[in-house]
Homo-oligomer: A and B are copies of this chain.
Amino acid sequence: MTVRCGLIAVSDRATAGVYEDRGTPAMREYLSRVITTPFEVVERLIPDEANQISAAIIELADVEGCCLILTTGGTGPAPRDVTPEATEAVLDRVIPGFGELMRRISHAIIPTAILSRQLAGTRGSSLVINLPGSPKAIAECLDAVMPAVPDCIDLINGPRIDVIASVGAWRPPQS
């Protein structure tokens, strides 16, 4: 069975066509490069509207069956940035270590990384991770958290996902 991954770009400007969405290609190319299990992506481009973000996560998790859902954009402190709260509203549980780690590694690169309120957590058997907007920061954050993603999806009873060795993913010996 082919694994499915959801990619949600959140951006008023990209939705209005005044700005090119560069987050989705960055997320897609990253996953294509590191995931060895056959997979397909389901993509959504939506404005910075909390109810649309929450609805997109629900759809990709519950209807489309995506075991990994990545969002890009809308994590800052600006009034229109509502991705973290819209995500948290539809998670069963937040896993705080994802946000902590992504901010910490990004902060070593740029001091304003502390402004990102990005979080991650689970909804049923789906792992949802907020990523920043810039392609460079997306790759940095995925480099940081991807080693824990396969084991996390195992633990929430999602499908087995294998990644290339250089990711450094860890699974318990018995699995």
- Tell me the A residues contacting B by CB distance below 8 Å: 76-79, 85, 93-101, 103-104, 107, 110-117, 122, 127, 145, 147-148, 151-152, 155-157, 168-170
Contacts and interface: CB of A to CB of B under 8 A. Distances in A.
Nearest to A119: B96
Contact of A148 (B93, B104, B111, B169): B111
Given A117-B93, A122-B77, A100 B111 contact: no
Contacts of A98: 114
B78 A156 contact: yes
B93 A77 contact: yes
B112 A170 contact: yes
A99 B114 CA distance: 9
A101 B111 CA distance: 10
A78 to B, nearest CB: 5
